[in-house]
Structure 1
Amino acid sequence: MAAATATVAALVPLAASCAAGTSILDKDSLVVGVKADQPNLGVKAPNGRYSGFDVDVATYIASKLGKQVRFLTAPSAQRENMIKSGEVDLVVATYSITAERKTKVSFAGPYYVAHQDTLVRAGQSGVSNVRDLRDRKLCQVTGSNSWRRVKEERKIPVTLVPSASYSECVEDLRSGKVDAVSTDDLILTGFAASGTKIVNAPFSDERYGIGIRTGDVDGCEAVNKAITEMYQDGTAKRLLQKWFAKSGLALTYTVPQFEGCG
């Protein structure tokens, strides 16, 4: 995937650039990193507009903070560096909270808890859960931790096939280059179409956090307050139904347990 490039705001115009070392509360506008190629979560249209659940969540939070917002594409492998360098103020991009990532950036939220599952070809037999991936080719997205939950955490011997993004992974699955794609169920719902199927055997909790610069405790707490309000006023339920009602997933409409901003 190409390096992130600035694009005209999807929903709200930009007024100021991002600068490292300050709180998001001190800014008139926010730059938010989102995905550009994940259907239902973050997609960039040819006209430069972004849309998806993560984009809507980011827009709601910016509105609650009284900020204007624009979006940048945030590939998985670049999310931490984009936050640390000040290229973005926040990252809302299917960004699972992990202990390793928390050594590099801080997280508000989570704003949703997804579950890792597996996508295979529709006619493929013999894969009914993650352990059936033994000795099969699994797509490995640079910067994503999903493959680690299969190969390292569960010690399942798979052959990893590198890829730059999950959209490329799905193309590799359809062409037969890989046997499976395993990542968060919300991501997979956007790619599940003719020729592929979700195994529907979730095996982890993926806490989607909002990446923020380490040390911005006030900004983090303000984002958590906005997330709480998003669930309390019914917006979270509306957005989840808007983007995932047809997926068949069991969606959760209660406020997730926050990590804490300290």
Structure 2
Amino acid sequence: MRSRLSPLARLFGAVATLGLVLAGCSSPGEIKDPTPIAGATTFSKLRIGISFDQPGVGTASEAGESDGVTVGKDAKGFDVDTATYIAKALGVPAESITWVKADPVDRERLIEDGKVDLVLSSYTITEDRKRRVDFAGPYFVAHQDLLVRRNDEELTGPDRLKGRTLCAAANTTSAQNVLNRYQGDVALVQPNTFSECVKRLTTGDVDAVTTDDIILAGFAALPANKGVLRVLNKGFSDEPYGIAMPKGSGQLVTQVNQALTSYIADGSWKASLERNVGPSGYKIPDPPTPGK
């Protein structure tokens, strides 16, 4: 027998169905305010070095110079969210952060010269760097990959690099990995920034850009590069990102690791990645364990 429902019952049924559909939809989570760390090192403000030209990871507009460094405004990206969360856990509100431009060639110098308090700039932890700075983290593990022109069907992975010209920013593990693995087989160009590398790729001056997959995904997702560039997704190294600070900062390292642990546990870490790099199609990995 065919049941007969009143218009009001049909309306309630439709609303209930819509609610189930919406409940099943996933959306980026929320970046939460951290609980202040008890006994944290007292800061009234923080100068934090970030990349100004890495979409999804760290971008900012130059806003002038202060104390001999370039400072920025409108900072955004995964590194920026991470830095802001840590600052709040140390008792520093977002408006008391000064964003300092930290290109790969300048990161150690900025810390050693006292120009910044922290650096979060897709900064891989290495033994050589630990001789000059202290690191908290890791807070993310990326993998070195290749960005190529979409119509290049011959360059399908790192095993096809012989005779090619690659571009990687100077003073990066990406550049050093190429020199260690492919010296004599490839030509390596090393400008100061990866944005310059991407520019050279689009104009045909180099065959590929190589750096961390999360950085390449951000460049590939830019409107100007969609349908023009693609990431090969053939990662060939592990790149654990750390938060750098001056040597001898043992207590601060511990406190920052506490903040990172909360950042991951309360869902803010994943929410930031979903918001900043999720739209590019980048597959978000499992989080690392800070301090390990």
Residue 202 of structure 1: CA displacement? 0.7
- After superposing on structure 2, the runs of 4+ consecutive aligned residues of structure 1 that deviate more than 4 Å are none
* Counterpart mapping for 1:201-240 below 5 A: 201-240=234-273
* 3-state DSSP of counterpart to 1:220: helix
Residue 30 of structure 1: CA displacement? 1.0
User: Is 1:104–2:132 an aligned residue pair?
Assistant: yes
Bigger mean CA offset, 205-214 vs 134-143: 134-143
CA-based RMSD of the aligned residues comes to 1.6
Q: 1:185 aligns with which of 194, 198, 213?
A: 213
Contact 1:106 / 1:211 at 8 angstroms: preserved in 2? yes
Q: Give the corresponding residue for 1:10.
A: none
Q: 1:85 aligns with which of 86, 101, 113?
A: 113
* 3-state DSSP of counterpart to 2:116: coil
Report the Cα distance in structure 1 between the residues aligned to 2:81 and 2:230, rounded to whole angstroms: 27
Task: Tell me the amino acid that sits aligned with residue 225 of structure 1.
Answer: Q
Report the Cα distance in structure 1 between the residues aligned to 2:41 and 2:166, rounded to whole angstroms: 42
Report the Cα distance in structure 2 between the residues aligned to 1:84 and 1:230, rounded to whole angstroms: 27
Q: Give the corresponding residue for 2:142.
A: 114
* 3-state DSSP of counterpart to 1:100: helix
* 3-state DSSP of counterpart to 2:190: strand
Q: 1:62 aligns with which of 52, 69, 87?
A: 87
Residue 73 of structure 1: CA displacement? 0.6
* 3-state DSSP of counterpart to 2:49: strand
* TM-score normalised according to structure 1 size: 0.85
For residues 187-236 of structure 1, the C-alpha deviation after alignment (integer angstroms, 9 at most, x for no partner) is 00111133111111011111010011111100010000000000111100
Residue 254 of structure 1: CA displacement? 3.1
User: Is 1:159–2:187 an aligned residue pair?
Assistant: yes
User: Is 1:33–2:62 an aligned residue pair?
Assistant: no
Task: Tell me the amino acid that sits aligned with residue 96 of structure 1.
Answer: T
Aligned positions, number: 236
Percent sequence identity over matched residues? 39
Q: Give the corresponding residue for 2:276.
A: 243
* Counterpart mapping for 1:18-29 below 5 A: 25-29=41-45
Q: Give the corresponding residue for 1:127.
A: 155
Contact 1:105 / 1:211 at 8 angstroms: preserved in 2? yes
* 3-state DSSP of counterpart to 2:181: coil
Residue 165 of structure 1: CA displacement? 0.6
Q: Give the corresponding residue for 1:19.
A: none
* 3-state DSSP of counterpart to 2:211: strand
| Cα distance change, pair 45–142 in 1 and its aligned pair in 2 (3 A) | same
Residue 150 of structure 1: CA displacement? 2.2
Residue 42 of structure 1: CA displacement? 1.0
Report the Cα distance in structure 2 between the residues aligned to 1:107 and 1:52, rounded to whole angstroms: 20
* 3-state DSSP of counterpart to 1:78: helix
Residue 257 of structure 1: CA displacement? 4.9
Q: Give the corresponding residue for 1:21.
A: none
Q: Give the corresponding residue for 1:50.
A: 75
User: Unpaired runs of 5+ in structure 2?
Assistant: 1-39, 64-72
